[in-house]
Chain A
Amino acid sequence: MQKPLFPLVAKQALVRRRGKVLVGPIDLTLEGKGTTIVIGPNGAGKTTLLKMLHGIERMNGGSLDWACPKEEAQRRQAFVFQTPIMMRRTVVDNIAYPLQLTGVGRKEARQRAALWAEQINLGDALDRQAMLLSGGERQKLALARALIREPDLLFLDEPCASLDGRATREIEEILQRAAASGTRLIMSTHNMGQAQRLADEVLFVLQGRIHEFSLAGEFFDGPKTTQAHAFLRGDIVE
């Protein structure tokens, strides 16, 4: 029986680079269900916050505790980057790679990856070099690669930025299926429509700090802070 991953508790968590505080200090408790959408203006620290929670951005202060040991927590989560990182391999080998890291044989990993490729409509492109895919296809591949290990938690950093409507819809459908099957999603976005469609709760980030953290309905109906109010109105918020 696996230990639960959540709650995730951040206490005075801080990321500083070249003397400048990018995120924090942050106090935050995240529970294990639903989809959390992180919103905020450009440069607010959304990406750094997600990377810090995921563990790929080194913290300069404070603590971050999972309900299970850190190494196990690390294994049970995945990250999808804003600009999808394509390995110099074929589509099927890209998707299969995370499985191979866990010791699954190449043949079996490729078989399972092929099934995933079918689900994201890349079944015809199994042996194409991933670098040759379009932006939307790359992002879908990155998503499949992240989900193939069936993570308990998936971080997504603006996965639909610069994608057209069709690709965005496909990505959202995959995310909704993942959420329905129990994967916890924490995702940043600039797209307020998308935030409203997907969010169960909203984290509003400004200048590296969490200005508001509330249920999606409450946030979109009546944000508590004036900055969040202004942001939702479309004003420039600094």
Chain B
Amino acid sequence: MADLLDGMLQAFWLLVTLDSDLLEITLRSLRVTLTALAIASAIALPMAALLVVRRFRMRRITIAVLNALMGLPPVVVGLIVYVFLSRAGPLGVMGLLFTPTAMIIAQVIIIVPLIASIAHQSLRELWSDYHDLLISMNASQSQRVKALLWDGRRALLTAALAGFGRAIGEVGAIMVVGGNIDHATRVLTTAIALETGKGDFAMALGLGFVLIAMAITVNLAIHWLGHTETEGRW
């Protein structure tokens, strides 16, 4: 209990004094996660819409695999990315290992199936409403995809936020590919792991509270920007 109280005080103090280390790793956390989220959304959302409107062989299996990949163990993803990016790996020449870019790659791999699966669920419902109308209007496949993505944007926001939640709290994969290097790849989650390992629970808790506050702030900001829960908007 004392640790918890100390943690809250630490968090408060870190925030009030605008601790430069905290600011640096918080901004890095945000940069890595938001970049991964943008890339993953650009991949996952059109993919989900295509899976809804397009009929092809193995479609059901593809959807099942996508759903199964939601539970990808982050450490394994980190390990695979590590192997690819390590000096002896196929992408080793790019020198990306232990950089924020490597962390972004790992996060993208982890959250693409999650965003795509959730988006697929909501777009499937929208498609069942729109199916006859869009076919009747002779809309092409890309026009159908665009209509679904635009009209379903508020539901898709939820999918993206789920991806953000998963990415911002991710520690296993980014620890492996980022290495938790001070002033280079250290982010909030890896810093928490480090402080816990050192036995500085108050600091770890302080960082934890900052992480939670940041996640809530970003969620609220996105909801506010997206005008969700406003009367007459979907």
Report the bound CA distance from A89 to B135 in whole Å: 18
Q: Are B232 and A74 in contact (CB under 8 A)?
A: no
The reply to whether the CB of A104 lies closer than 8 angstroms to some CB of chain B is no
The 0/1 profile, CB within 8 Å of B marked 1, for residues 74-99 of chain A is 11001101000101110000000110
Question: What is the number of residues of chain A that contact chain B, defined by CB distance less than 8 Å?
Answer: 19
Whether A85 touches B130, Cβ cut-off 8 Å, given contacts A129-B233, A131-B234, is: yes
Q: How far is the CA of A81 from the CA of B234 in the complex (A)?
A: 22
Residue of B with least CB distance to A129? B232
Chain B interface SS verdict (over half) = helix
A30 contacts across to B, CB distance below 8 A:
none
Which of B108-116, B137-145, B207-215 is the contact stretch? B137-145
A98 / chain B contacts, CB cutoff of 8 Å: 137
Question: What residue in chain A is nearest B132 (Cβ atoms)?
Answer: A56
Q: With a CB–CB cut-off of 8 A, which chain B residues contact A81? A: 132-133
B129 interfacial contact with A, CB 8 Å: yes
**Which one of A85, A88, A131 lies within 8 Å of B132 (CB-CB)?**
A85
In the bound complex, CA of A71 to CA of B185 (Å): 56
User: Are A56 and B135 also in contact (CB < 8 A) when A87-B151, A129-B234 are?
Assistant: yes
Instruction: Report yes or no: B137 in contact with A88, Cβ–Cβ below 8 A.
Output: no
Tell whether, in the assembled complex, residue B138 and residue A101 are in contact, meaning their CB atoms are under 8 Å apart.
yes
Residue B136, interface by CB 8 Å: yes
Q: Which of B136, B138, B234 contacts A88 (CB 8 A)?
A: B234
Q: Which residues of A contact B (CB under 8 A)?
A: 51, 54, 56, 74-75, 78-79, 81, 85, 87-89, 97-98, 101, 128-129, 131-132
- Chain B residues in the interface with A (C-beta under 8 A): 126, 129-130, 132-133, 135-139, 143, 147, 151-152, 232-234
Q: Which 8 A-B pairs have the closest CB atoms?
A: A88-B151, A79-B136, A85-B133, A129-B232, A88-B234, A56-B135, A74-B138, A98-B137
